[in-house]
């Protein structure tokens, strides 16, 4: 089966979700939230835990973490600085910077990594997922709170950072990855019935996530803020993966599959967490929503071109 044939079902499932979400009999808000909760608190954790509990840790390229996060964090901070230079408020600049660096590593990243590079690619991708929200949300929150709080008030500072760090770690995507690595390190067995249950749940995770993408697009739409959303999408889909590619192919060369998966992760469309972050601070929610939709639609074209280069 060709790479295009492997990727086509990904977009067809998202399209099916979109068409279903546009039907008159569908209450997109309530049902989408319900399906999303089931996916992120049950199916996706099962997939991530089983993957990280079974992978060969000796074969993992942990340098991929540095190759991904160093340019990503530098880009995030640089974008905040650039936004401030253009007389944006720090809050707006931070939300936009997070949008331009935070990809949809679960709903889209998992199916694409699995389709393109199999379980070996998913293992590398899961390693990045384990730190993705923790690193980027922590960085964005530190920048935001640093601008909003009194720098001399250490008690107020730590009262913000420590709960945020705890909430980020105890997360339905991050926690099962961490637990899976612990399970793997201690070489604990997975009993047959438990493993069979995890396999069943894991098989449903990918199609469910893809249908959710379509449902979310049908629910949110792109009304308003299209112009800034186009800029955010362009940086996320083009500039971010270009910087990571510079690192993994020339500055810190990685093994071929690890390099390809790392760049592919950087090239993902904008994820949902920037919207949650924007809603938390009541900043730029509309343009963040539009950017998620536009980058997700545009990704259908950029991922095919990128994979053609990476697998050449």
Q: pLDDT per position in the chain (312 positions), as tens?
A: 666 777 788 788 888 988 888 887 676 567 777 887 888 789 888 988 998 888 777 767 789 999 999 999 999 999 999 998 887 888 899 999 999 999 999 888 988 998 888 888 988 998 898 788 778 987 888 788 777 665 555 556 666 667 666 666 676 777 888 899 899 999 999 999 999 999 999 888 888 878 887 887 777 667 667 888 999 999 999 999 999 999 999 999 999 999 999 999 999 999 878 887 887 788 888 888 889 889 988 998 899 899 888 876
Which of 116, 121, 114 lies closest to 44 in space, CA to CA?
Answer: 114
Biggest distance spanned by C-alpha atoms of the chain: 60
- Both structure tokens of 66: 């540095």
The pLDDT value recorded for residue 27 is 65
pTM to 2 decimal places: 0.78
Does the domain at 3-310 match CATH 3.40.190.10? Answer given as no
Query: Which residue, 145, 127, 134, 107, is CA-closest to 56?
Result: 127
Cβ neighbours, 10 Å, residue 252? 16
- For 74, other C-beta atoms within 10 Å of its C-beta total 12
Beta pairing partners, 103: 270
Q: Which pLDDT belongs to residue 24?
A: 73
For residue 82 the two structure tokens come to 């650039």
């Amino acid at each position: 089966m060709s790479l295009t044939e492997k990727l086509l079902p990904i977009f067809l499932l998202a399209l099916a979700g979109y068409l279903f979400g546009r039907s008159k009999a569908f209450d997109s808000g309530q049902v989408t939230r319900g399906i999303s909760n089931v996916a992120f608190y049950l199916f996706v954790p099962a997939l991530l835990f089983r993957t990280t509990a079974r992978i060969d840790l000796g074969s993992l390229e942990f340098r991929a973490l540095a190759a991904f996060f160093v340019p990503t964090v530098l880009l995030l901070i640089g974008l905040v600085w650039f936004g401030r230079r253009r007389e944006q408020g720090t809050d707006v600049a931070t939300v936009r910077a997070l949008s331009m660096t935070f990809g949809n590593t679960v709903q889209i990243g998992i199916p694409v990594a699995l389709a393109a590079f199999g379980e070996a690619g998913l293992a590398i991708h899961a390693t990045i997922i384990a730190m993705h929200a923790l690193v980027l949300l922590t960085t964005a929150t530190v920048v935001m709170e640093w601008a909003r709080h009194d720098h001399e008030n250490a008690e107020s500072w730590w009262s913000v950072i420590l709960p945020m760090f705890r909430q980020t770690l105890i997360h339905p995507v991050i926690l099962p990855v961490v637990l899976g690595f612990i399970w793997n390190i201690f070489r604990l067995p997975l009993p047959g019935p438990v493993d069979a249950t995890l396999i069943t749940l894991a098989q449903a995770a990918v199609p469910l996530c893809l249908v959710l993408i379509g449902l979310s697009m049908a629910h949110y739409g792109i009304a308003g803020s299209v112009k800034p959303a186009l800029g955010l999408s362009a940086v996320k889909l083009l500039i971010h993966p270009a910087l990571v590619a510079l690192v993994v192919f020339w500055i810190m060369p990685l093994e071929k599959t690890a390099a390809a998966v790392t760049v592919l992760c950087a090239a993902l469309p904008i994820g949902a967490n920037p919207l949650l972050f924007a809603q938390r601070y009541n900043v730029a929610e509309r343009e963040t929503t539009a950017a998620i939709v536009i980058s997700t639609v545009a990704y259908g074209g950029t991922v095919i071109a990128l994979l053609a280069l990476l697998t050449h």
